[in-house]
Structures are given as structure tokens and as C-alpha cells.
């Protein structure tokens, strides 16, 4: 059975719509992981899980987040290194340290840092 492609046809057909995920954090915002000791700046947001099943299955089952929530791409740092992280909304909290992130990718995407967030460079804004 094929599903209607257009939204109004889908609504009229009675096919249930998936819930709408609302992002709690914005691009440029500095966040902290709820369980692990790292922070990062948001540089992209997926409205729902958009990584591989292998990545998802590698997370211990008792820590595995729901897929129906926003996932954030972070320029992340911990005490040892900087890296890219992919984190579910349920595992992030706002960072209140007011400290900038020390990541080599920051200067390529962002301009100044103020009040806990980075400003996206003009060439990356749409």
C-alpha cells in the first residue's frame, strides 16, 4: 500500500502524522552533556535521529535515547581532546559556565562568542 505523497492528501486519508519535534537548543548555543563530562557548541540539528543503525546500536541499551527527538551535531571538548559529537536532546542541558569552547572548528563556522553562544558567520547563514 502506498502512502499519499502530499501533506493534505495524507491528512485527508487519516494516516497519522508523526509528532513534531521541537529543538530546545539553537545553532551557536553552548551545551553540556547530561551524563558525560563534555561540552560543545551546536553547529547543526536533525529534527529526529539521522545517523546509522550501527551507531545507534553501539549505544548501551540502558542509555540508548529515543529516535523521535532532535539530535545535535556538536563541536565538542572534554579535558583531553576536541571532537565532533552527535547527541540526543534528552542528553543535553544548557551550559552555564560562560566559558568558550576550545575546538579547532569554531573559527571556520562562528564569529564572536557572547552570553553563552557563538554567532554563525554570515556566509553560513541562510
- pLDDT tens digit sequence for 28-87: 999 999 999 999 999 999 999 999 999 999 999 999 999 999 999 999 999 999 999 999
pLDDT of amino acid 19: 66
pLDDT of amino acid 84: 98
Question: Of how many residues is the chain composed?
Answer: 126
- pLDDT tens digit sequence for 72-126: 999 999 999 999 999 999 999 999 999 999 999 999 999 999 988 999 999 888 7
DSSP-derived secondary structure for 35-100: SSS-EEEEEEEESS--S-HHHHHTS-GGGPPPSSS-EEEEEEE-SS-EEEEEEEGGGEEE--S-PP
Above 50 in pLDDT, residue 2?
Answer: no
- Write down all domains in the chain, each with its CATH number in brackets: 25-124 (2.30.30.390)
Give the predicted TM-score (pTM) of the model: 0.83
CA neighbor of 34 nearest in space, from 88, 95, 98, 92 = 92
- pLDDT tens digit sequence for 12-30: 777 666 667 799 999 999 9
Angle formed at CA 92 by CA 86 and CA 97, multiple of 5 degrees = 115
Amino acid at each position: 500500500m502506498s502512502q499519499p505523497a502530499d501533506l493534505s492528501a495524507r491528512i485527508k486519508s487519516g494516516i497519522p502524522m508523526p509528532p513534531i519535534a521541537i529543538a530546545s537548543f539553537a545553532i551557536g548555543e553552548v551545551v553540556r552533556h547530561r551524563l558525560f563530562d563534555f561540552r560543545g557548541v551546536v553547529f547543526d540539528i536533525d529534527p529526529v535521529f539521522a545517523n546509522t543503525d550501527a551507531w545507534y546500536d553501539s549505544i548501551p541499551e540502558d542509555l540508548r535515547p529515543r529516535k523521535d527527538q532532535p539530535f545535535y551535531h556538536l563541536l565538542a571538548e572534554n579535558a583531553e581532546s576536541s571532537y565532533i559529537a552527535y547527541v540526543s536532546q534528552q542528553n543535553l542541558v544548557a551550559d552555564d559556565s560562560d566559558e568558550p569552547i576550545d575546538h579547532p572548528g569554531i573559527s571556520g563556522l562562528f564569529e564572536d562568542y557572547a552570553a553563552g553562544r557563538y554567532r554563525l558567520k554570515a556566509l553560513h547563514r541562510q
